[in-house]
Structure 1
Amino acid sequence: MMKPAKIESSDSPQFFDESEVPDGWELKKLCEDLILDIQPGFACGKNTRDGQGIPHIRPMNVTEKGQIDLTDLKFVPESECSKPERFVNEGDVIFNNTNSPALVGKTAYYNLPEPRAFSNHMTRLRCNKELIDPVFCAMVLHQKWREGYFKSVCNNHVSQSSVGRQVLLDTQILLPPLAEQQRIVARVEALLSHVNATRERLNRVPLIMKRFREAVLQSAIEGRLVQLDSCEKKSINDEDTEVSLPQSWRLEAIENHVSRLTNGYVGPTRDIYIESGIPYLLARHIKKHKIIFDQRTFISEEFNQKNRKSILKKGDVLVVQSGDIGQTAVVDDDHVGHNCHALIVITPKGESLDGHYLSIYFSSITGQNATRQIQTGITLKHLNCKDVKKIKIPLPTLAEQREIVRRVGLLFERADAIDREVEVAGRRCERLTQAVLGKAFRGELK
């Protein structure tokens, strides 16, 4: 068996004192007989992604969960890997020695049967298995990364940070007897498997809710959310559209039910911005059917007066003209009087068309398909007002429109509540993960 590497100890900051050591445990540095061999990787300017050669483990191949991920692999020529010390083998611990301050120190147990090369941004550790279990070692080091230890001891350079060989070896850990280490590893893996299964289920919810919202919007403009007059359907054939609608509904062009349909200012914008003045909405401010004026932009009163046609009124519908085409929002009290850039502004006739209903139409699958069909341009796709005017929408009575808007609002409120619940549950999973790992390496995990 290899003898422990001859490693000198030096002073470095630690987070423990003797009073924190559980009975039967020891407070030890890695350099105190725990590591048989420590080996930095190597840089290679001949790396490729063509799958030819030897896979080269890099920082992105160790995840923030402390696992090996080979999704993004680079390869180096076999001629660069002629020495055995250039390989990481099953049972080794791989440590990320160079990265951003937030990521330096990520660690994983290498559990794959195939040897792979590793870059100079990684350090390979081989444990003295009579004293420390390699999986336990990787878990402990990765937990210290989670707790911010390596960020506190790293060297900061111009564009990255690094943890030197000696600093790594001087890292103190609480070390239980070998049998207890193995019990802790098994217990942690069992507990975290349940947490991870819950997290995976939670991660599926956003897609489910996305499809739910799409279904709600599509049902709304097909008359399946509410039918006040009749439950019977009628088929309407049009040169552009074939739909099945409730008896009282009509298929009519948008231009017949709006008093204004125009685009905001289209042209260079950087020179027109000022530090304060008239708020100026851009396409990026239209998010999830809302106006979110976070990165604020302003124009002068003079410029506003030159572009009076696109000054916003309450109830106006905004449609993104280029970029994320077809996204919509309705102007509320907070944004009355604003002006806009690269947005189509639509003022519905209140006696026949509700702005929120029109926004629902544009957000539905049918509405998105309609705007997609009329996009023009080669390098930058966009909508023309004259084409948007001709779009034919399923139009119920005004009373039905308002009831549809109300019901969509209620369903979306419930969807938003579920999103919040999922977010809270996700944070609980993360806290539970931290609690399990923290207890495990303090000797408190039963």
Structure 2
Amino acid sequence: MSERPVTADELPITWALTTLGTVVDYGRTEKAEPEEFDDDDWILELEDIEKSTSRLLARLTCAQRLSKSTKNRFATGDVLYGKLRPYLNKVLIADRPGYCTTEIIPLKPGGHLDGRYLFYWLKHPAFLAYVAAKSHGMNMPRLGTAAGKAAPFVLAPPAEQKRIADQLDSVLARISSCNDRLDAVSALLQRFRAAVLSAAVSGKLTAEWRSERDSEPWHTCSLGEVTASSFYGPRFGKSEYTSDPLGIPTIRTTDMDRYGRIRITSDTPRVSVSPEKLEQYRVLAGDLLITRTGSIGVMAVFEGNQLAIPSAYLIRFRFRSRLRPTFAYYRLAAPEGKRDLGLSTTAVAQPNINAEAIKRLTIALPSLAEQVEIETRVQGLFAVADRIEARLAVASTCAQELPRSLLGKAFRGELLPQDPNDEPASELLARIATERASAIASPRARRPVQRKPTRAPKESAAMTKSRQDDDVKSHPYLARHLRRLGGSASAEALFGESELPVSDFYKQLAWEIEQGLIRDGKTVLEATDAT
């Protein structure tokens, strides 16, 4: 399985298995405060990236987003990795500079990595399995800095990285196009079923059938004229519900499928009621059930002789003999019926519907013989759509699995032939180590500010921490620094040690004072025993 960890033994001899922190500086970010943003700067949030596909759903500017929080700065070519809920698989390659939420980590590939190769590895099933196991937090899990640095990374020779990325770009684009076309087929099938129902209740579906027979003409009446009875499902007290599987099922909207069928399962709630109440409310074969509130307009025809009672938010209709229940369902489920119920895409949906409003709707009523013929034809056409949909589901599953399989092959060296003349990854690792050692030994050059030259540099721009970091927010972060400073210090001294921007520092300080972690001694701040 591609989710299992990659081992060095299965890699080509010129490749290497290392860690993400060895090849990129995972977790190192450059903070920026809202006052540094221009109105037309790109502000990226996690919600702008579609899960799994990495499609950019929206590109909003500072003026549009009105951002008021600290962000991470990123440059063109950076690989932007969503560390919050990493199972959503939100990764993006920046095509222009901008600022992103601190829940996104910009990764700089440098000269030794192809950014696309890094991007694809972060989407590899084995990497996703690793981050799922290492993320911390129950409701909002995150991949921490230490775990991110220790994450596995398959390093191919530089030339091979580009070849792999080029091939993945090409093949995955075709798979994405295939998925789009499969989605289009699903939409076409929905339109086909809607068109069949429209033809069924308008008489077009059986026009030729009628012309070949001396059939009765259709006549128009209200649904109320052909309704024998209707009622709302009863409400049950807590004492009436039972875990006994022999209890009476209470049909819910979720027990109805989109094709007007009812499926009672072991999850359907059961009740224990008196024989009188059961007789009063039980559904019979041919009853039409319509949801009147919540998922308004979901409907189905009850078939069979199983004992069951509709839930309180369902309306049960029982029709006279000249209207077959299935034809009544076709009338209400067709696009025209949804429009009349106020449920079409162009209508404003009603908060609920009621039995009397439904009874006032008109219906063009054919003879019983033609109703039977219509049902036969609709069921035959729907069966064809069902078979196509089943094949579509298989094709869609295969298309969705292809990227996982493709990534598995790519990072085992099986996607393309190996070139023996490629520089081995071991030499690349040695060069990366040398470059890092040199960078540590040399003073880091301050990044030149190319825009806004008239603005004085802000102290927050040099800060490496944010209040959104895992070890800061909701933790005694400043109190720990106070203890390292001897237990007390001035606000200025604590700020200098905190590595936080000014606004984040004071927010964190106010929170820790409120929590009793720090005592404000007016001239100095003191760590309390609560830490």
TM-score by structure 2 length? 0.67
The residue aligned with 1:255 is: 224
Is 2:131 the counterpart of 1:150? yes
Residue in structure 2 matching 1:392, options 362, 380, 386? 362
The residue aligned with 1:327 is: 298
**Native 8 Å contact 1:24 1:176 kept in 2:** yes
Residue in structure 2 matching 1:24, options 14, 30, 42? 14
Higher helix share: 2
Bigger Cα displacement from structure 2, 68-77 vs 220-229? 68-77
Query: Displacement of 1:214 after TM fit?
Result: 0.9
Query: Displacement of 1:87 after TM fit?
Result: 1.0
Q: Relative to 1, partners in 2 of residues 1:354 and 1:146: Cα closer, same or farther, differing over 3 Å? A: farther
Q: In the TM superposition, what whole-angstrom CA distance separates every residue of 1:15-74 from its partner, at most 9, and x where no partner exists?
A: 343322203222232333x22675247698x89xxx967544333344333635252858
Instruction: Identify unmatched segments of 5+ residues in structure 2.
Output: 417-531
Residue in structure 2 matching 1:273, options 237, 241, 248? 241
- Equivalent residue letter for 1:297: P
How far apart are the structure 2 equivalents of 1:315 and 1:207? Answer: 30
How far apart are the structure 1 equivalents of 2:396 and 2:364? Answer: 40
The residue aligned with 1:299 is: 271
**Native 8 Å contact 1:99 1:121 kept in 2:** no
TM-score by structure 1 length? 0.79
% identical aligned pairs? 23
The residue aligned with 1:235 is: none
The residue aligned with 2:458 is: none
How far apart are the structure 2 equivalents of 1:78 and 1:408? Answer: 54
Instruction: Identify unmatched segments of 5+ residues in structure 1.
Output: 1-13, 233-245
- Equivalent residue letter for 1:436: L
Residue in structure 2 matching 1:358, options 325, 328, 335? 328
SS in 1 for 2:21: coil
Bigger Cα displacement from structure 2, 169-178 vs 188-197? 169-178
Is 2:164 the counterpart of 1:184? yes
Residue in structure 2 matching 1:93, options 52, 70, 79? 79
Query: Displacement of 1:440 after TM fit?
Result: 0.8
Is 2:415 the counterpart of 1:445? yes
Query: Displacement of 1:188 after TM fit?
Result: 0.7
Q: In the TM superposition, what whole-angstrom CA distance separates every residue of 1:393-418 from its partner, at most 9, and x where no partner exists?
A: 11111111011011111111111222
SS in 2 for 1:290: coil
SS in 2 for 1:163: coil
Is 2:423 the counterpart of 1:419? no
Larger radius of gyration: 2
Is 2:180 the counterpart of 1:200? yes
1:99-118 aligned at under 5 Å gives the runs 99=85, 102-103=87-88, 106-110=90-94, 112-113=95-96, 115-118=97-100
Indicate the structure whose relative CO is greater, using CA pairs within 8 Å and at least 6 residues apart.
2
- Equivalent residue letter for 2:379: G
Residue in structure 2 matching 1:69, options 56, 65, 73? 56
How far apart are the structure 2 equivalents of 1:364 and 1:196? Answer: 33
The residue aligned with 1:5 is: none
Is 2:39 the counterpart of 1:39? no
**Native 8 Å contact 1:18 1:27 kept in 2:** yes
The residue aligned with 1:6 is: none
The residue aligned with 1:382 is: 352
The residue aligned with 1:404 is: 374
Q: Relative to 1, partners in 2 of residues 1:222 and 1:430: Cα closer, same or farther, differing over 3 Å? A: same
How far apart are the structure 2 equivalents of 1:370 and 1:178? Answer: 64
Q: Relative to 1, partners in 2 of residues 1:273 and 1:73: Cα closer, same or farther, differing over 3 Å? A: farther
- Equivalent residue letter for 1:172: P
Query: Displacement of 1:144 after TM fit?
Result: 4.7
How far apart are the structure 1 equivalents of 2:208 and 2:237? Answer: 47
- Equivalent residue letter for 1:445: L
- Equivalent residue letter for 1:177: P
The residue aligned with 2:309 is: 338
- Equivalent residue letter for 1:251: T
- Equivalent residue letter for 1:97: K
How far apart are the structure 2 equivalents of 1:209 and 1:221? Answer: 19
SS in 2 for 1:287: coil
Higher strand share: 1
Number of aligned pairs?
400
Q: In the TM superposition, what whole-angstrom CA distance separates every residue of 1:360-390 from its partner, at most 9, and x where no partner exists?
A: 11111222233339xxxx9973333334334
1:211-222 aligned at under 5 Å gives the runs 211-222=191-202
Q: Relative to 1, partners in 2 of residues 1:310 and 1:178: Cα closer, same or farther, differing over 3 Å? A: same
Bigger Cα displacement from structure 2, 189-198 vs 252-261? 252-261
Is 2:99 the counterpart of 1:127? no
Query: What is the aligned-residue RMSD (CA, Å)?
Result: 3.4
The residue aligned with 2:448 is: none
SS in 1 for 2:124: helix
**Native 8 Å contact 2:262 2:302 kept in 1:** yes
The residue aligned with 2:44 is: 57
